[in-house]
Structures are given as C-alpha cells and as structure tokens.
Structure 1
Amino acid sequence: MGAIGLLFSGGALFLNSLMLLGKAEEKSVAFFNILVGLLQVITPVYLIITSDQSNWSMFNNGAVFLFGFTYLYLGATILKGFDSSGLGWYSLWVAMMAIVYALVFYVQENDMVNALIWVMWAFLWFLFFLSSALKKPYEAYIGRVAFVQSWVTLTLPSLFMLLDMWPIAKLQQIWTYVCVASMVYFVVEALLFVKSTKKEELLQEIV
C-alpha cells in the first residue's frame, strides 16, 4: 500500500475511533469512509493494470482492497442504516487474510515490523467482527484500540515513508518496540475493560 493510501487510511481510522468513543457524529464520519474507500479501490485497480502482473505485485496491490472495501462497506452501512452483521462477517474474513499477510511478511520477507502491523490489523478487524456480527458491546474498547492503531500502524509510518525515513534500520527497530508496546497496551486495556464490565454487571444484580 502506498504512503498516501496509508496516510488517508490513518485519517479514516482516527475518525472511526472517535466515532466509536462517541466524540464524532456517525454520518459525517461515514462520508469520509466513503471517500477513502473509493481511493483505496480505484488506486489498486490502476496499480494492478500498470504492474508487471507478477504474483508478488498482485499480492501487495490486492491488500489495498481489504481496506478499501472495509471503508466503503462501513460508510454505506452507516449512511443507509443497514444491519452491521454483513460488515462483521466480512471483517472476520479480512482478519484471517491479514494473518496470512503477516505470516508472509515474517516468513518470506523477514520483515518483523510489517508482520506485527498486520497482526494488529487482524486483531482490530476481529474486534469489528465481535461488535458488528456478534453484537458485543465493545465499542469503547475498540475505539481505544483503533485510536492507537490509526497512529502506530498507519499515520506515522506513512509520514516516515513520505520523508524517506521508513527504511532506516534504527527506525525499524524502534517501531518494532512501539508495536509490541501497543499490543501490551491492548491486553492491559482488555483486562481493565473486562474487569469494569463484570463490576457493572455485579452492581446491576445487587440493585
């Protein structure tokens, strides 16, 4: 995925996180999702047509569609008032595809940073599955995860790419630690979320 695509994906995920946290209005965020989704569908079509048609080119360019269709599907679901179950099950499928991408980057490319980033994306898509398809009330937790990922996996890496800093070995090492720290944060937040949810359920039973 190109740096510009990553940058605007970061913007979309940032707005989606604020929407989930109740700080941004749904329809206005949905419109931006549509815009970014169109960008993430039109761009890979052009890249595929003009590529060397090798398997690796198709594999890399095809990844952009995972994001593009997610943003378009989410935007349409909100604007049209569709039930979110279809989006949720699609998110589960994308989460599985993201794991494949993570394994390929780790095994074939020996690229730890991109492997960790794809694992984080897989986790986020899986959370969308739980929320949208299984109707789990995890919006607050997902919002915090999405907020962190919008910066750690998309916005900042894209800026580093545009500044031609991303290939620097030291930065790659630092970003590995950033990704691991982010994952630890997700686990801690999940434990706190479960604890607070159980506490609320206990209080409701007492009342």
Structure 2
Amino acid sequence: MGSVGLLYVGAVLFINGLMLLGKIPGKAAAPMNYFVGFMQVIFPTLLILQSEGDPAVVLGASGLYLFGFTYLYVALNQTFNLAGEGLGWFSLFVAVVAVVMGYLNFTSVNDPVFGAIWLIWAVLWFMFFLVLGLRRDSLTRTTGWFTVIVAHLTGTVPALLLLAGEYRSDSFWTWVMGVCGVLALAASVMLGRQQDTPATEPPPPESPPRRNARAAV
C-alpha cells in the first residue's frame, strides 16, 4: 500500500473510531469516507491498468479495494441511513482476505511488518463484522477504541515512516508491531467496559416547609 494512501487510511479509521464511540455523528463522518473511499478505488484501478500484468503490482493494488469499498459502504450507510448488516458481512470477507494478505506479506512479499499489520486489520474488520453483521452492540465501544488506536498504529505512524524513508521491516519490528497490536486490543477491551459517566443532575428543590396551621390563623 502506498505511503500516501496509508496515511489517509489512518485518518479515516480515526474518524470512524470516533463515530463508533459516539463522538462524531455518522453524517459528519461520511465525507471523509467518501474522499478516502474514492481514492482507494481510483488509485488501484490506475495501478492495475499500468501494471502490464505484473503480479506484485496487482497484488498490492487488490488490497486497496478492500479499504475503498469499506469506506464507500460506510459513507453510503451514513448518508442514506441504511442498515449495517450488509457492511458487517462484507467486513467478514475483508477479515478473511486480510489474513491471506498477511500470509503473503510474510512469504512472497518479504515484508513481515506489513504482514503483522494485515493481521491486525483482520482482527479489526472481524470486530466490525461482530458489531454490524451479528449486532453485538456490547462490543461497539471496544471496537471504537480499537479502531482509534489501530488507525495510528497501522496507518499514521507507518505512513510517516515511509514518507521519511525510515521504515524498517525485519523480525524485531515485526515483533514490536505484533505486541503493540495485542496491547491495543487489551486496552480497547478495558476502555470499552468503561461507561461514560452521566452528568449528575442537581437534586430537585426542596418543597418549602408547611406553615403550622394554627400559626396561619
């Protein structure tokens, strides 16, 4: 995945995580999903057209469609107030393919850090499936927190490293990414169990004391 596209994956996942946490209304999150969704559909199409059948280029471009269609699906759901089950089951498809993409990055592509990143994305999209496809509403906050954290762990930070020419993919950084992914999931579970503390309503004013009937005479 290109560094620029990866940077905006981080941005849109951050927005969508805040939406799941109830911090951003769905319609307010829709524009960013349209922007990044169209980008992640148009760019891979151009790459494939110019690839001359190069399997490595086609493989890299194919992963972008998974993101592009997801974000466009989110945008359409929020714009037209559609049910989320279709997006949820599509997310299960993305999760399965992400596992395969992770395996290919470990073996054929020889980029183990991105292999770990794809596996983290597989977990994230599987959580989308649980929340949207199976209506596990109790996991919404956990999924929201995991999305916010993963947005930067697998999107923003690697993209900035790639743009700065400081990206490294070896066994050490693969383990670092894997451990960070596990810690992110554990932190999200703990944060998801914490409910927002409702504002304390002031107690109702006390009724004025009744005057003694005899004193009122």
With normalisation by structure 1, the TM-score equals: 0.86
Residues 1:194 and 1:41: Cα distance change in structure 2 (over 3 Å):
closer
Following superposition, the deviation at residue 183 of structure 1 comes to 1.2
Distance 1:189 1:38 in 2: 29
Following superposition, the deviation at residue 184 of structure 1 comes to 2.9
| 1:1-207 matched pairs, under 5 angstroms | 1-137=1-137, 138-167=139-168, 173-174=172-173, 176-187=175-186, 189-190=188-189, 192=190
The RMSD of aligned alpha carbons is 2.0
Following superposition, the deviation at residue 95 of structure 1 comes to 0.4
Residues 1:16 and 1:196: Cα distance change in structure 2 (over 3 Å):
closer
Distance 1:149 1:91 in 2: 16
In structure 1, runs of 5+ residues without a counterpart are: 198-207
In structure 2, runs of 5+ residues without a counterpart are: 196-217
Residues 1:168 and 1:93: Cα distance change in structure 2 (over 3 Å):
closer
Identity %: 34
Letter of the 1:186 partner, please give it: L
Which protein is richer in helix relative to its size?
1
Following superposition, the deviation at residue 25 of structure 1 comes to 1.7
Return 116-125 or 55-64, whichever deviates more.
55-64
Tell whether the 8 Å contact from 2:141 to 2:192 is kept in structure 1 after alignment: no
Aligned length in residues = 194
With normalisation by structure 2, the TM-score equals: 0.83
Following superposition, the deviation at residue 196 of structure 1 comes to 7.0
Distance 1:157 1:4 in 2: 10
Distance 1:162 1:38 in 2: 22
Q: Deviations over 1:12-70 (max 9, x none)?
A: 00111111111112101011101110000001111111113122221111110000000
Decide which structure has the larger Cα Rg and report it.
2
Distance 1:189 1:4 in 2: 27
Letter of the 2:71 partner, please give it: Y
Tell me which stretches of 4 or more aligned residues in structure 1 moved more than 2 Å.
Answer: 107-112, 172-176, 187-190, 192-197
